[in-house]
Amino acid sequence: MPQPFRIAGASGFWGDRNDALLDQVRGGPIDVVMLDYLAEVTMSILRMKMMRNPNQGYAGDFLKALDPALHDIVERRIKVVTNAGGMNPRACAQAVIELARKKGIPGLRVGLVTGDDILGQLDSLAARGIALENLDTGGSFSTIRERVLSANAYLGSEPIAEALRAGAQIVVTGRCTDSALALGPLLARYDWAPHDWNRRAAGIVAGHLLECGGQGSGGNFAGAWEQVPDLANLGYPIAEVEESGEFIVTKHSGLGGLVTPAVLKEQLLYEIGDPRAYVTPDVVADFTSIRLEDLGANRVRVFGIRGMPAPEQLKVSVSYQDGWRNAVALTFVWPHALERARASERLLRARCEKRGLEIDEIHVDLIGVSGAHGPLAPAPREEPNEVLFRMAIRTRDRESAKRFGEEIAPLVLSGVPGAASGLLSGRPEESVIVNYWPTLVPRDAVRASVEVLES
């Protein structure tokens, strides 16, 4: 029996645990580590960082994770695949080369995938008659054109596979689908045929189970959360993939966490739409075909996966400036905490009016009573001991958003009684809203390019 190909997940978003990579590398045998850093919000934050400094614009956390693990990775010949490149994959790849030099590691080959950034092509796409209308709302692109900050196509797994075939040990991409970080290495390992949709779909499903880090092995598990061992040392998930496309999800035995069918079901259903058609640039996977078998001891077999041909168009994520927001909060104590929170809402609304603030929308949360679920939360059976009153606003006018933040602290002396201000640290500051505009472009509008750098 040939050894399966072992892919380990080590990051689910920018901000995840930086020591997960070292845990995966040292915890037992693996062939590849994949690290996902990109969410819808991340690319626009990275764009703004890059606008301030052209050497920034990537998820610097990747370097922090890589630093203590690089010697082990090189020694054990583990491949590392990541989309940490974000808006600036070249700067990220160069930072990896720099790190290798600093650590005295010669000959480290770093693959660089670019071509996802199509910001400079938007006008030529429009000239070709490509509408770029909002995939969700049908909205016209002209309404946001002047406020666009970034535009990135979701690349698939082929450029990653190409970089690995060209000898890269570490591959850095910009925007690619999270699951391509698993399918790319699988294509390089197994050379699955381009139209082998079932096996490609299996690779995508494996990627989907690994792309959220700890969520694939007991983190954020709602089923029986109190039974998940040692979340402080959570072992992120590992997929042991066979040439047939069947795989087993597991974790290193020396680390915490839990791998059961119930845990994997939660992750399979995470952030999906129609399960019959999970669309990626590589294949359309049918999640209703997935079968799970519990092998015990934190091992679950995943099989039966069917796929359908890849789509003709690629998804593009555009981010654009969409006004400002600010939020203020005060805690009110027993008795009549709710009434005093509601009175404070009326008071703040009157103050906004008196000061002439231009506000497009106001939202109030009564935290402790209905903060997270609003009208879905039933009324409390008894008078609450305390209520955290939070009021958030959205506006096109930055100055109004800023001045709204000035109105909360005076309530401690000039408002209704019983307010604790411990959550206030100075004046709450306004923040820019960067919104998300999903759209489609023809495949030929995007050209991925692959190069390999060496330390």
Partner 1 sequence: MRTVLYNLAHARAGDKGDRCNIGLIARRPEFYPVLVREVTADRVKHLFGDWCKGPVERFELPNLEALNFVLHGALDGGALASLRLDTQGKTYGFALLRLEVEIPEGLTVDPLI
Residues that bind partner 1 (CB under 8 A): 40-41, 44, 136-137, 220, 222-224, 262, 265-276, 287-292, 304, 322-323, 325, 327, 361-363, 365, 367, 371-378, 390, 392-394, 433-436, 438
How far is 350 from 389, CA to CA, in rounded Å? 16
Question: Closer to partner 1 at the Cβ: 76 or 291?
Answer: 291
Question: Closer to partner 1 at the Cβ: 129 or 273?
Answer: 273
User: Closest distance between partner 1 and the C-beta of residue 156, in Å?
Assistant: 18
How far is 209 from 228, CA to CA, in rounded Å? 18
Nearest to 59 by CA among 49, 51, 74: 49
User: Closest distance between partner 1 and the C-beta of residue 436, in Å?
Assistant: 6
User: Closest distance between partner 1 and the C-beta of residue 41, in Å?
Assistant: 6
Q: Which two tokens stand for residue 229?
A: 């061992």
User: Closest distance between partner 1 and the C-beta of residue 140, in Å?
Assistant: 17
Question: Closer to partner 1 at the Cβ: 18 or 395?
Answer: 395
User: Closest distance between partner 1 and the C-beta of residue 329, in Å?
Assistant: 10
- In sequence order, the β-bridge partners of residue 3 are none
Question: Closer to partner 1 at the Cβ: 126 or 262?
Answer: 262
Q: Which two tokens stand for residue 207?
A: 């990627």
Question: Closer to partner 1 at the Cβ: 63 or 367?
Answer: 367
How far is 390 from 374, CA to CA, in rounded Å? 12
Question: Closer to partner 1 at the Cβ: 105 or 262?
Answer: 262
Please tell me whether the peptide bond between 378 and the residue prior to it is cis, using omega within 30 degrees of 0: no
User: Closest distance between partner 1 and the C-beta of residue 373, in Å?
Assistant: 5
Nearest to 30 by CA among 12, 9, 11: 9
Cα pseudo-dihedral 95, 33, 264, 42, rounded to 10: 10
| C-alpha R_g of the chain | 25
How far is 169 from 97, CA to CA, in rounded Å? 12
86 phi/psi in degrees, rounded to 5? 50, -120
User: Closest distance between partner 1 and the C-beta of residue 437, in Å?
Assistant: 9
Q: What is the DSSP string of 251-287?
A: --TTSB----HHHHHHHHTTT-S-TT-EE-SS-EEEG
Question: Closer to partner 1 at the Cβ: 244 or 288?
Answer: 288
Q: Taking each helix axis from N to C terminus, what angle separates 180-190 and 158-165, rounded to the nearest 10 degrees?
A: 50
Residue 99: C-alpha distances to residues 160, 257, 408, 438, 454 (Å): 21, 31, 46, 35, 12
How far is 32 from 275, CA to CA, in rounded Å? 27
How far is 220 from 232, CA to CA, in rounded Å? 13
Question: Closer to partner 1 at the Cβ: 27 or 257?
Answer: 257
User: Closest distance between partner 1 and the C-beta of residue 440, in Å?
Assistant: 14
Pairing of strands 299-303, 386-395: unpaired
User: Closest distance between partner 1 and the C-beta of residue 289, in Å?
Assistant: 7
Question: Closer to partner 1 at the Cβ: 180 or 393?
Answer: 393
User: Closest distance between partner 1 and the C-beta of residue 39, in Å?
Assistant: 9
Question: Closer to partner 1 at the Cβ: 232 or 372?
Answer: 372
Instruction: Show the CA angle centred on residue 66, arms to residues 61 and 67, nearest 5°.
Output: 100
